[in-house]
Chains A and B, each alone.
Chain A
Amino acid sequence: MIRLLRDWLARRTSTQLASALAVLAALALTGSLVLTGQAVRMDQRQQAALSALDDYAAMVSKLGVETDFNPSELTAGDAAYLSAWLGAFQSGPGRDAGSLEETCRTGRGGAGVRYIRASVGKPAGLAALETAPRERLPRLGDNVWRVKLARGELCPGRTVEAVVVRRTVGSLNIIVGRVVDPTGRALGWAVLAVALTGAVILISGLAAAAFARRRLTLAITGVSQALDRAAVGDFSVRAPEVGVAPELTELTVQANRTLDRLEELLSWLRDSADQLAHDFRTPLARATARMERLAETGDPDERSRLGLEAAHDLKALSRAMNEAMALREGEAWLFEEVRLDDLAASVAELYEPLAEARGAAIAVETPDGPVAVLGVRSLLQRAAANLADNAVKFSPDGGTVTIRAFLIDGKPSLSVGDQGPGLDPRMLSDAALRTASAEAGGRESHGLGLTFVAAVLRRHGAEMTIDDAAPGTIVTAQFSR
């Protein structure tokens, strides 16, 4: 049930909800108005009934005092007299009730009505009191009735309501009553005030809803325009983050941050792809050339040499492909804490037997505390392994490969140094790295795999430097955080 309601609510727009609230408020106001009206009306009737009972009591006491009036012997003349007397009594000066004439003119209540009928003779007073439709009001007292007097019966111009007391004293039927004040002017003002309040609530509610909606729509339009542009490859547009709708600031900031990251990632992928394409094409071109020579030559030694070299080229190609795939895999933002000191130790453990077999040693230097970066673990592992692999490969007999994890000004760094032949200083620029592997001919060179390492480090916002360690080379990755 609650779920249904929630589902239903979820499908309504804010404007619809605001309108519904306004309508509900108006309904509630109307309801309270009706209830108030009824209470006021009841109160008016009660007042009229009390006055009528007063009148009746006064009349009965009068009857009692003037004992000459034996009810059983009351004549029509007596009745007429009593009626006239009561009329004067009810409308006389000193009473706050208006006269009949005033009641009929203004519609306000208070005027007295009466009807007295004796067992003999002609009844006196307003005959309509006996014939008009009536309804008992037991809550106001015994024999208290509400009588509806149609137009012309009491007042020539309007229908009035009267509350009357009907009693029988001896042979005398007495009906004494008062015209009920028609709920009064106060209620009119109340109605007006409530209606105006309702209107103000309704209008301001709708206006606020419309304003809020417009503001949200504007902010969302900003975000969606930025996303639309991004969808067609233009990452220059950003949604305004502040000054539109405070509710959406977080969303806008988040959307912009995502766009920033996407832009950064895309440009990184583009750069890496350019550089890796080179790693693809070089062995491909070489293998193609060798295959062509293989087809032409008849010398069996030459043929087998070319075949082996081509197989080597294919291996390089498959390596480049694996690295490209690895970059693709690491593209996800699965950044986690990676301890460079642990990484240095495990890379050293991995390559130790290989280094020993080549007559070299591996030394690990790490500080006492942790050296941690946020990164893609598998990519950092690959990069570190690539560097260590190269260093071991080019270490001379008895040389030492040094793997260090350290902090410079709080920035984590990892370096791999060897005592090998080193790189030509002319090739120590980033751009020259790309050609390093190509220049080295058939032999695997120090440059191979560095493209990949550079791409991985760029992905982590790290800077790669290659320095001459005299003798040897030291490759350092310095992370920004």
Chain B
Amino acid sequence: MTMDLETESAEQAFAAMTAMFDGRRALLLEDDPDLSEHVADRLLKAGFEAVDRVDSGEAALQACASGAYDVLILDRLTKGLDGLETLKRLRASGGPCADAPALMLTALGGERQKVEGLLGGADDYLAKPVGDEELLARIGCQIRRTARHARPAGADILNGPFRLSPGARTLKLELESGVRLIDLSPLEFAIVHELMTARGQPVTKTMLWDRCWVEWKFLPENFVNIIDARISALRRRLKEQAPELGEDLHPLIVSARSQSLIFRDLDR
């Protein structure tokens, strides 16, 4: 029963992402034709209106000069101008792509290279190989962030009876019978924050690792097990502290596909 619910909820989440991708345009800088075709194909299937494929930094600059994109996906080691330099120039150009969210998708996955990429203007940095689910969730996250720019940062996030205040770092359960503070450890709060910010859309476990386990400078081999164990404990904690929601809404955090998690959208 629970499994059915989870599957249904997960598919809804991915469907919501498709709706978000609808009509969006992406620029893909990748000089391996097979990989480029594969990524473009996935993006188009996920709902993108257009994916412009280029194989050199110069071509990317040219494409960006003539039109705006909702997201830039850049390889680092490309013919001619490399991806990082291309991004730096785009950011400095003030052109239509200067503020577009950019993901580096590259084989250079070292900690130092990652820092270089983020300092160079990338919004996210992914080391190849990257699964489709991971890539789409990351792109979704970037587009969501851009859309959120209009709202003030640090505003409360509401989901059903839950009110999450990022500034005060509190999660409250607001019921007719009264308001109750949910007791969470800092790590648990970070996880709930990350998932609720996604507003019902999937967050992959690597994304969660990057943003919640920040003191760890690497991805352990068994991070999936570590996260699963942590999430199980968190589910129990939420259930204990919010029994009023009813059996059918728990667990509040559900798995989606193989590598993603969703905080149930209780307003739907």
Q: Which residue of B lies closest to A326 (CB)?
A: B218
Minimum CB–CB distance from B212 to chain A (whole Å) comes to 11
Candidates B110, B218, B226; contact of A354 at CB < 8 Å? B226
Do residues B229 and A357 form an inter-chain contact, with CB atoms below 8 A?
A: yes
Q: Is the CB of B229 within 8 A of A329?
A: no
- The contact size tier of chain A is 20 to 34
Q: A353-B232, A353-B233, A357-B229 are in contact. Are A381 and B110 (CB under 8 A)?
A: no
Asked if B218 and A378 make an inter-chain contact with CB atoms under 8 angstroms apart, the answer reads yes
Let me know if A389 is at the binding interface, CB within 8 A.
Answer: yes
In the complex, are the beta carbons of A382 and B218 less than 8 A apart?
Answer: yes
Q: Is A234 an interface residue (CB 8 A)?
A: no
* Chain A CB within 10 Å, residue with most, of B111, B112, B225: B225
> Which B residues are CB-close (under 8 A) to A353?
226, 229-230, 232-233
A169 CB-CB contact with B under 8 Å: no
Q: Indicate if the CB atoms of B217 and A378 lie closer than 8 Å.
A: yes
Contacting residues, chain B, for A332 (C-beta < 8 A):
112
Beyond the given pairs A329-B112, A354-B225, A382-B220, 8 more chain A to chain B contacts, judged by CB atoms under 8 angstroms and listed by A's residue number, are A322-B221, A329-B111, A353-B233, A354-B222, A354-B226, A354-B229, A356-B233, A382-B218
12 residue pairs from A and B, CB less than 8 Å apart: A322-B221, A349-B187, A353-B233, A354-B222, A354-B226, A377-B217, A378-B111, A381-B217, A381-B218, A382-B218, A382-B220, A389-B222
- When distances are taken between beta carbons in the complex, the residues of chain A under 8 Å from B221 are 319, 322, 389
Known contacts A350-B213, A356-B229, A389 near B110 by CB under 8 Å: no
Which interface residue of B110, B187, B215, B229 has the most chain A CB atoms within 10 A? B229
Which residue of chain A has its CB nearest to the CB of B234? Answer: A353
Residues of A within 8 A of B112 (CB): 329, 332
User: Which partner residue on chain A sits nearest B187 by CB separation?
Assistant: A349
Q: Are B110 and A325 in contact (CB under 8 A)?
A: yes
B233: chain A residues within 8 A (beta carbon): 353, 356
Binary contact track A378-390/B, C-beta < 8 Å → 1, others 0: 1001100100010
Interface hits, B52-97 → A, CB 8 Å:
none
Count of chain B residues near A, Cβ 8 A: 19
Chain B residues with Cβ below 8 Å from A322 are 221
Question: A12 to B213, alpha carbons, bound, how many Å?
Answer: 56
Binary CB contact string for chain A from 325 to 364 against chain B (1 if under 8 A, 0 otherwise): 1101100100000000000001001110110110000000
Chain A residues in 8 Å Cβ range of B222 = 354, 389
CA distance A464 to B39 in the complex (A): 45
Please tell me if the beta carbons of A351 and B226 are within 8 angstroms of each other in the complex.
yes
Contact A389 B220 (CB under 8 A): yes
Assembled-state Cα–Cα distance A382/B216 (Å):
9
Which residues of the partner chain A approach B220 to less than 8 Å between Cβ atoms?
A: 382, 385, 389
Please determine whether A329 and B110 come into contact, CB atoms closer than 8 angstroms: yes
A389 to chain B: which residues have CB within 8 Å? Answer: 220-222
A187 to chain B, nearest CB (A): 74
A350 engages B226 (CB within 8 Å): yes
Q: Min CB distance, A449 to chain B, in Å?
A: 8
In the complex, chain B residues whose CB is within 8 Å of the CB of A350: 213, 216, 226
A350 and B227 alpha carbons, distance in the complex (Å): 9
CA distance A99 to B233 in the complex (A): 128
* B residues in contact with A346, CB < 8 Å: 215
Q: Is the CB of A357 within 8 A of B232?
A: yes
Report chain A residues within 8 Å CB of B213.
Answer: 350
Annotate B196-236 by CB proximity to A: 1 below 8 A, 0 otherwise.
Answer: 00000000000000000101111011100110011011000
Q: CA A350 – CA B215 in complex, angstroms? A: 11
Contacts of A357 in B (CB 8 A): 229, 232
Query: Which residue of chain A lies nearest to B217 when distances are taken between CB atoms in the complex?
Result: A378
Determine the distance from Cα of A350 to Cα of B112 in the docked complex, in whole angstroms: 24
Min CB gap A285→B, angstroms? 21
Quick one: which of A299-333 are within 8 Å of B by CB?
319, 322, 325-326, 328-329, 332
Per the 8 Å Cβ criterion, residues 455-475 of A in contact with B are: none
Measured CA separation A389–B232 after assembly (Å)? 18
Complex contacts, A328 vs chain B, CB 8 Å: 110
| Closest chain A CB from B255 CB (angstroms) | 15
Bound together, the chains give a CA A259 to CA B225 distance in angstroms of 44
Q: How far is the CB of A184 from chain B (nearest CB, A)?
A: 79
Q: Which of A332, A353, A357, A389 has the most CB of B within 10 A?
A: A353
Q: CB-CB < 8 A to B216: which residues of A?
A: 350, 381, 385
Alpha-carbon gap, A381 to B225, bound state (A): 18
Task: Select from chain B the residue with minimum beta-carbon distance to A323.
Answer: B221
Cα distance A205–B138 in the bound complex, in angstroms: 72
Could you tell me which residues of chain B, from 91 to 130, have a CB within 8 Å of some CB in chain A? 109-112
Alpha-carbon separation in the docked complex, A356 to B187 (Å)? 17
Tell me the residues in window 8-29 of chain A with beta carbons closer than 8 Å to chain B beta carbons: none
A325 to B110, CA, bound (A): 8
- Within the complex, the shortest CB–CB distance from A393 to chain B, in Å, comes to 9
In the bound assembly, the distance between CA atoms of A15 and B217 in angstroms comes to 53
Closest Cβ–Cβ distance, residue A386 to chain B (whole Å)? 8
Q: How far is the CB of A383 from chain B (nearest CB, A)?
A: 11
Scoring A326, A354, A377 by chain B CB atoms within 10 A of each residue's CB, the highest score goes to A354
Tell me, rounded to whole Å, the shortest Cβ–Cβ distance linking B258 to chain A: 14
- Give complex CA distance A351, B216 in Å: 13
Complexed CA–CA distance, A196 and B221 (Å): 83
Q: What separation, in Å, do the CA atoms of A350 and B217 have in the docked complex?
A: 13
Chain A residues within 8 Å of B229, by CB = 353-354, 356-357
Chain B residues near A382 (CB-CB < 8 A): 218, 220
Cα–Cα distance between A326 and B222 once the two chains are bound (Å): 16
**Separation of A378 and B112 alpha carbons in the complex (Å):** 11
With a CB–CB cut-off of 8 A, which chain A residues contact B110? Answer: 325, 328-329
In the complex, what's the smallest C-beta–C-beta distance from A387 to chain B, in angstroms?
A: 12
Contacts of A349 in B (CB 8 A): 187
Contacts of A378 in B (CB 8 A): 111, 217-218
Among all A-B residue pairs, the 7 with the closest Cβ atoms: A353-B229, A378-B217, A354-B229, A353-B230, A357-B229, A353-B233, A329-B110
> Which residue of the partner chain B has the closest CB to A329?
B110
User: Which chain B residue lies CB-closest to A351?
Assistant: B226
A352, B189: Cα distance in complex, Å: 17
List chain B residues, Cβ under 8 A from A354. Answer: 222, 225-226, 229
Distance between Cα atoms of A353 and B226 in the complex (Å) = 7
Q: Which residues from chain A contact B187 at a C-beta distance below 8 Å?
A: 349
B108 to chain A, nearest CB (A): 10
Residues of B close to A385: CB separation below 8 A:
216, 220
CB distance from A468 to the nearest CB of B (A): 26
